Structure 1
Amino acid sequence: MRILPSGDRALLLELDDLDQVLGYYAALAADPPPEVVDIVPAARTILVTTRGDLAGLSRSLRELAPARDSRATGDLVEIPVVYDGEDLGNVASLLGCTSSEVIARHTGVLWTVAFSGFAPGFGYLTSDADWNIPRRTSPRTKVPAGAVGLAGEFSGVYPRESPGGWQLIGRTSVRTFDAAREPAALLHPGGRVRFVDAGRG
């Protein structure tokens, strides 16, 4: 772990991999150091913002032990999915299985919101399953809101219409971002997600 200054009110933890990020984020969220005001995880880093002294925060971070069971905490959100995505068959071919097996695999694991990014409300979801799905060679110019996709080790739900290169396996009517809702984002780092099979349309 490397700890780097980020302005005069934050420190950036550089970590080896996503599992370390999940472990350290879970530990920080459960018991944040004094005067910490924000903790923002990413794929290989965690930004920790404080009202206090950076030297004291640095000491606290160096003494921090990562949580062991970092994927088993946080509120659980169930997301029903109609599995009729344009890339479902392609994902099945990549995995060497049937479309039904892809659906069973996607719904059969508990996903963790590792971090947020790309667009407000877009959670990068990871699981203990061994996913490694390449992005599309040609991204789409329009992906509809509610599209459920896979890319690399992640799954995600598009919060609004946008370009995107993920492999689309289904769609949901659940709104993962709503500016009129409090909080606006449905999925937060550390939260858990279970996808539920709602059929194929």
Structure 2
Amino acid sequence: MIMLYATPRSGNAHKVRLALAFLGLSWEEQPTDAAARQSAAFAAINPMRQIPLYVEGDRTLRDSQAILAYLAARHRPGDWDGRTPEERGEIALWLSHAANEIANGPATLRLARQFGTPIAEEHAQAVTARFLPVIEARLAAHRWLVGDRLTIADLAASPYLALAGEADIDLADWPAIGEWTSRIAALPGFPAMPGWPAQIAS
């Protein structure tokens, strides 16, 4: 049985939920709030004290991008993690954007707006302003970030952009991003998340 340590509003955890749901896998979810993450029991299985944490038998994986890479290689090799060296390189690029520009821009702004977390506001705004035009341009020309299908690039990059409204970012200003996140929400098996608009893309 797969166990996912998570919280309902974690975009990073939702990346893993998306993968598990689209793969048709069953999992149990262990609610793991900030207090639980500071416990000795949790630190024993994840010394970084972060979520998501993926446990399957004796295998434990932390970091959402790493978990996505594992699930793709195990269950959807090539299709989700790249069929060619060029696709694999592009997917790695978007995983890096998810862990850097998206995390330090839109996701950080959401932390401040929704959870009152102190942030470097000017820096987060600057990162967001630099990155959004890049991904908007990509999605204006392509239905998916890499290739002609959903890959882990889309799973890694989409949650915090779908939740942009909670960061006071109006996706009406970024229509290609909004259509893409709606396209993902329209896929069979999509697991709903608070704050992710579930409208169906045209």
TM-score by length of 1: 0.28
- Which of the two has higher C-alpha Rg? 1
- Of Structure 1 and Structure 2, which has the larger fraction of its residues in strand? 1
More helix by share: 2
Q: TM-score, normalising length from structure 2? A: 0.28
